[in-house]
Structure formats: C-alpha cells, structure tokens
C-alpha cells in the first residue's frame, strides 16, 4: 500500500506508517523548516514544499505516477488546527487553517483513494464554524460511508491509550470506499509513563538548563532559564509539584496569578514520573508555558525528551540548530506510535 501525507510537518505520521510497512511516497507541507528533517528520516518519501491551495490536483499523477481510483492508495490529512484549538491566541491569525480540510477534500475527490485518514484537534467537532460536517457529507456522497457507519469511523481519542507516553486528546478518522468494515485501533490496558519513557538516566542523563548537546543526533538540549524562573523551579517539589508551592513568596509569585490558586495550576509545574506526560505542544521546551518542568532536574524538558514523549524513535534526527524549530516540528506531529497502529490496522483490513 502507498500513502501521501498532506500537512506532513516533520514526519510523525509518515514515520509511523512506514514502521507499519506502508510505503509513503510523499509528504506535503508549506513549512520549509520541515523539509530537511522529513527527508532525512523518511527515505524514499519526497517532501513537497507547497501551499495545498495552489498545488495542482494532478501533481502526483503527473510527477509521481500516482493512479486515480487506486484501492491501495491512502490519503492522509492532518491539517494545521490553530482555528479549532482551545489554546489559540488569535482567531484572526488562525483563520487560514479553518478550511484546509476542504482543500484536502479536493485531492480525495480527484484521486478517489481506497482509504482516507484524518487527524485533528477535538475542537473540530465542537467549534460552531467547523467544516467537519461538510467534509463528512462529502465522504458519504463519494462512497466512503455515512458518519459512524461500518466504513467510516471517527472518535476523539487519547494517545495515552495507544502506547504513547502522553495525554493527548485528538480527533481521529478512518474511512474506506471498499465496503470493508473499519474501526480505530484497539486501546491498550496499560499506559506508558514518563518514567518508562525518559527515566533511564544512562540515556536521558542529568543536564542543566541551557545545556546544548554537541551530539546533533541525540539533541538532549534544554533552553536557558531566567534567574527568577530557575529559583521558581528550585522551589517546586520534584515529581509533579506546581506553582502553588511558592504562591506566598512575594518575590517568586507572579502578579497575574495572585488570588488565582485554582486557575492554570499546571503552568510552572513539573511533570509526574509515573503518569503519561501532559500534551507536548510546540512550546514544550518552555517551563513557563505549561507543566513542562522536568520531574527532577531544575530545567524544562529537552528536545529529545519531548520527541520521546511524542514516541519518535531515538534515531529520528531533527535537522535544525534552532531548538524552537525542533520543538515546533515535534509538538505539531502525529505521534508515530499511533500512526503505526493506524497503518497496521489498514493493512489488516485490506487483506
């Protein structure tokens, strides 16, 4: 089976599908920062730097010999989700991402693949301006089945139920026009914890805030903390402590949180060892942007720790010298472990 990964970013979905045994022929993304990382880790998959709204529908047919009406073709659409995300900062700025699912729909109509995969934030279901239901109607009209029929299934799932050491709620859809019954991957009984993922100190060794790893493959690098933030994390108990521990210290307490002991308690917190991590966002390197403090070390997470919590393989290289770019590629990715399970599922269904 072959797949094209739209909005591929640094290659999380591509990586997982390839681990399952599916050939990914191309990834499409407008973010040029993703190109080198995507191609370095996914041999044989071509990175197409393009705006999907301007990419000719017949591009893959002409340039890559992709056939229309191919039962063994999978089109994957994990479009940027800022418009539907609960953590977006500017609705106007994020509007460009609102209709990307419908742009992806045009390629489904043209190629008529055997399978369609979609991943997005849960808000794509509940947002009043969502295009999801137009997309679901399109799938039904084109033979992929009515929403939640035997050939089209979608659900809001949590990645921690699928071998990913992270609590990450996402919308996931699988549909086929081949008349075969589909479902989402089976849940695991046990969750993978932070300790199991990054607790081995021989691998994820102790480092200080601001440490830069000279081994670019390993990338166990963490950003510098300001003097006041270093004091804050030093006063935060190990293994899940939060900012309430220093709320009565007038020097350490932030004015914006005074009298707000029940709001945003994860901010400036440490991750728990024996639970899945919080959602790894594009800001996971920053101690002040969520519960991203290391369980023991007085620092935020490293690039490699965030990648591991997203289930990227150890040998997956992030081809950039800029920590914030690596964090963006990691935080925006579909966890490869979940993508692998989707790929394995499609291979089983297609036998």
Please tell me which residue in 81, 152, 256, 265 is annotated as part of the active site: 81
Q: Please give the backbone phi and psi of residue 347, each rounded to the nearest 5 degrees, phi first.
A: -65, -40
CB contact set of 333 (below 8 Å; sequence gap of 6+): 9, 10, 11, 12, 13, 310, 312
Tell me the CA distances in angstroms from 39 to 5, 11, 78, one per residue in order. 13, 8, 18
Contact of 277 with 165, CB cutoff 8 Å: yes
**Structure token pair of residue 63:** 């340039």
How many beta carbons lie within 10 A of that of residue 218, not counting itself? Answer: 17
**Structure token pair of residue 319:** 């081809």
Contact of 323 with 232, CB cutoff 8 Å: no
Q: Order of strands, edge to edge, in the sheet holding 2-6?
A: 46-49, 23-29, 2-6, 73-77, 115-120, 169-176, 152-158
81 given a catalytic annotation? yes
DSSP class of 179 = S
Handedness of CA 158, 284, 101, 345 (dihedral sign): negative
Tell me the CA distances in angstroms from 333 to 62, 170, 225, 235, one per residue in order. 28, 12, 25, 33
Q: Give the angle 40-52-32 at the CA atoms, nearest 5°.
A: 35
Contact of 344 with 19, CB cutoff 8 Å: no
Indicate the Cα dihedral angle 155, 160, 166, 167, nearest 10°.
Answer: 50
3-class SS of residue 157: strand
3-class SS of residue 103: helix
- Which residues are the active-site residues? 81
């Amino acid at each position: 089976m072959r797949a094209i990964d739209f909005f591929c970013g640094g290659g999380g979905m591509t990586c997982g599908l390839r681990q399952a045994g599916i050939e990914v022929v191309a990834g499409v993304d407008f973010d040029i920062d993703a190109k080198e990382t995507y191609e370095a880790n996914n041999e044989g998959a071509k990175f197409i730097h393009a705006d999907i709204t301007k990419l000719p529908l017949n591009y893959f047919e002409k340039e890559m010999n992709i056939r229309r009406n191919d039962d063994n073709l999978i089109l994957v659409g994990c479009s940027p989700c800022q418009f539907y995300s609960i953590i977006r900062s500017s609705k106007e700025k994020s509007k460009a991402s609102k209709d990307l699912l419908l742009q992806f729909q045009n390629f489904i109509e043209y190629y008529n693949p055997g399978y369609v995969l979609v991943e997005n934030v849960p808000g794509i279901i509940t947002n009043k301006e969502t295009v999801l239901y137009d997309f679901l109607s399109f799938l039904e009209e084109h033979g992929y089945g009515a929403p939640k029929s035997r050939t089209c299934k979608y659900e809001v799932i949590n990645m921690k139920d699928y071998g990913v050491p992270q609590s990450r709620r996402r919308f996931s859809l699988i549909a086929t026009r081949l008349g075969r019954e589909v479902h989402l991957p089976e849940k695991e009984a046990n969750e993978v914890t932070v300790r199991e993922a990054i607790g081995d100190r021989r691998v994820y060794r102790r480092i200080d805030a601001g440490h830069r790893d000279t081994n670019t493959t390993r990338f166990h690098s963490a950003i510098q903390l300001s003097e006041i933030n270093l004091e804050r994390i030093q006063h935060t108990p190990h293994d899940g402590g939060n900012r309430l521990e220093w709320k009565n210290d007038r020097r350490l307490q932030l004015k914006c949180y005074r009298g707000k002991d029940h709001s945003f308690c994860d901010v400036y917190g440490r991750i728990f060892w024996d639970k899945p991590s919080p959602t790894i966002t594009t800001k996971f390197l920053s101690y002040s942007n969520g519960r991203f403090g290391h369980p023991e070390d007085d620092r935020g997470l490293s690039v490699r720790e965030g990648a591991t919590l997203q289930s990227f393989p150890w040998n997956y290289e992030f081809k950039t010298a800029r920590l914030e770019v690596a964090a963006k590629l990691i935080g925006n990715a579909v966890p490869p472990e979940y993508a692998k399970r989707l790929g394995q599922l499609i291979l089983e269904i297609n036998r």
